[in-house]
Amino acid sequence: MSDSKKKLLVVDDEESIHLLYKEEFEDEGYEVYSAMSGEEALKLFDEIKPDLVVLDINMPGIDGIEVLRQLKQKSPSTPVIISSAYPEYKQDLASWASDDYIVKSFDLTDLKESIKRHLKK
Amino acid sequence: MPELRRDPVIGRWVIISKERGKRPSDFVIVQERVRGGYCPLCPGNEHSTPPEVLAYGRKEGAPPNSPGWSLRVVPNKYPALTPNGNLDRRKEGIYDKLNGVGAHEVIIETPKHEETLATMPVEQIELIFRSYRDRMKALSEDDRFQFIIIFKNFGRAAGASLEHSHSQLIALPIVPLTIKQELSGSMRYFELNERCIFCDIIRQERSQNIRIVCENDEFITLSPFAPRSPFEMWCLPKYHSSSYPEISDTQIKSLATLFSETMRRLDKALPKVPYNIMLHTSPIREQNLEYYHWHLEILPKLTMIAGFEWGTGFYINPTPPEESARFLREIDIHKQGTPDSLLSRKEKLIS
């Protein structure tokens, strides 16, 4: 795999989301890593040092908001995009730490555009 | 026997279950685990918020949205209502609707992440009340808005998602029902008595002296006669005023002093209890009303709102306001440690 490929870390507890995102994001030319929980994401983040994180919120164990705050504490400049089925987490001011908040949909246009935009910055 | 009590302003009924008479020590307050980590409201992280609309405390010449502030007001990154566009009020058969236009702002009350209303200095609380006035005045210029609500949620059970002390402001294109009920109840009383009902409440409370928590020359905190929640308090100006934005700098100083004492008393009685605070003031286009009186309502989150409450508008309150006022009044806020009366307090610590 080429060194120039940008690394994405996808954090979600649903297998089907990983399958979909992996296929779609690899087609876009990214190197995709998967974490099934917040705990795994925090560990993997230190190992792979991703260029961008796509993060679910509603997960068992450490939830996405807590993962977000810990990731931003470790690396404030790494973009984190929240990808949640629930728009109501926008009410959580801690979600402001994220660089974007995209409500999950099988149409990934908005998410892909957001990733592109934040990787260009 | 329980007692039914009627709120004199809006006529809401509550059930006071007198025989239970819950003391502060009888309430289980789940101590929340602090999430920690990056905070978008802390100094140095200004880039995580939308550009500020107001800030106090920076040195002259310092750029906006940089550290060094004492208080910041920023638009909500994900607002409940959007500031752009017109109202376009329209009908759909019998139904009414209009565009979701409004302003939604967040008041970052302090640069210190751990500070609360019970621990911050009075001068900081003064800044908070000043920012409320200044933002209300500025937003009142927008003729799309009819009413401005300022509220604070403290603790997760009361709806606060981030522990960094903040309150919120929403400018609405309509006057909400709760305020309309207060206005019409107050107006009805005024038509009968030619006096402001809130001024009369203050007069009676000062003469009975059983529900007063604390007071100074210009403000008073009391447990209302028919409280929805145990330890509910109202903080009111003793002088007549229907509109909060009319408050002077001197009055803000006096309000901050009494409010700080109120919050320290509450925190001493019920450490870190979740609560909601709401500022009720007259609608933007209805200033200087003889019959209405602005006030702050402080509602600790100690009981459940369930089917009975939703179905009837009644509330069941296990602590008579006379008792909660006495507990709060008698607490020595200058004494270190847990008051003797609270030593049996049960705490569920979640690690």
When CB atoms are compared, the residue of A66, A76, A91 closest to B35 is: A66
- The pLDDT value recorded for residue B334 is 83
Q: Which residue has the higher pLDDT, B233 or B312?
A: B233
The answer to whether B81 touches B172, Cβ cutoff 8 Å, is yes
Which chain B residues are Cβ-neighbours of A92 within 8 angstroms? 161-162
Percentage above 70 pLDDT, chain A: 97
- Write the DSSP string, B77-112: SS-SSBSSS----EEETTEEE---B-EEEEEE--S-
Is the predicted pLDDT of residue B175 greater than 70, yes or no?
yes
| Amino acid at site A89 | Y
Count CB atoms within 10 A of the CB of residue B339: 17
The answer to whether B248 touches B134, Cβ cutoff 8 Å, is no
Distance from CA of A7 to the nearest CA of B (A): 23
The answer to whether A24 touches A108, Cβ cutoff 8 Å, is yes
Distance from CA of B37 to the nearest CA of A (A): 5
- The pLDDT value recorded for residue B110 is 98
When CB atoms are compared, the residue of B36, B37, B48 closest to A96 is: B48
pLDDT in tens, A7-17: 999 999 999 99
Instruction: Please tell me the least confidently modeled range out of A50-54, A63-67, B122-126, B336-340.
Output: B336-340
Could you name the CATH architecture of A7-120?
Answer: 3-Layer(aba) Sandwich (3.40)
The domain ranges of chain B are 3-22+72-82+97-342
CA B170 to chain centre: 13
- The pLDDT value recorded for residue B20 is 60
CA dist B202 and B305 (Å) reads 28
Is the predicted pLDDT of residue B350 greater than 70, yes or no?
no
Which chain B residues are Cβ-neighbours of A91 within 8 angstroms? 78, 161
Interhelix angle for B249-269 vs B321-330, to 10°? 100
Pairing mode of beta strands A52-55, A7-11: parallel
**Which ipTM was obtained for this model?**
0.86
Give the model's confidence band at B36: pLDDT under 50 very low, under 70 low, under 90 confident, else very high: confident
Instruction: Give whole-number Cα distances, B182 to A84, A121, B171, B179, B292, in Å.
Output: 39, 51, 18, 5, 8
Q: What does the longest C-alpha to C-alpha distance in chain A come to?
A: 40
Give the model's confidence band at B346: pLDDT under 50 very low, under 70 low, under 90 confident, else very high: very low
- The pLDDT of B88-92, averaged and rounded, is 93
| Amino acid at site B55 | A
- The pLDDT of B33-49, averaged and rounded, is 90
Is the predicted pLDDT of residue B195 greater than 80, yes or no?
yes
Asked if B36 is an interface residue toward chain A (Cβ–Cβ < 8 A), one would say yes
Instruction: Give whole-number Cα distances, B64 to B67, B130, B346, in Å.
Output: 9, 19, 46
Class of domain B3-22+72-82+97-342: alpha beta
Q: Which residues of B are catalytic?
A: 166
- The pLDDT of B201-221, averaged and rounded, is 98
SS3 percent helix, strand, coil of chain A, rounded to 5, is 45, 20, 35
pLDDT in tens, A2-59: 458 999 999 999 999 999 999 999 999 999 999 999 999 999 999 999 999 999 999 9
| B77 Cβ neighbours under 8 A, 6+ residues apart | A90, A95, A96, B49, B50
Average pLDDT, chain B: 92
| B299 Cβ neighbours under 8 A, 6+ residues apart | B228, B229, B232, B275, B276, B277, B278
Is the predicted pLDDT of residue B144 greater than 80, yes or no?
yes
Q: Which residue has the higher pLDDT, B142 or B349?
A: B142
Distance from CA of A72 to the nearest CA of B (A): 6
pLDDT in tens, B248-292: 999 999 999 999 999 999 999 999 999 999 999 999 999 899 999
The domain ranges of chain A are 7-120
- The pLDDT value recorded for residue A41 is 96
Is the predicted pLDDT of residue B21 greater than 80, yes or no?
no
| B223 Cβ neighbours under 8 A, 6+ residues apart | B211, B213, B231, B232, B233, B234, B321, B322, B324, B325, B328
Structure tokens at A69: 């705050």
The answer to whether B310 touches B245, Cβ cutoff 8 Å, is no
Structure tokens at A17: 């989301």
**Cα first-last separation, chain A:** 24
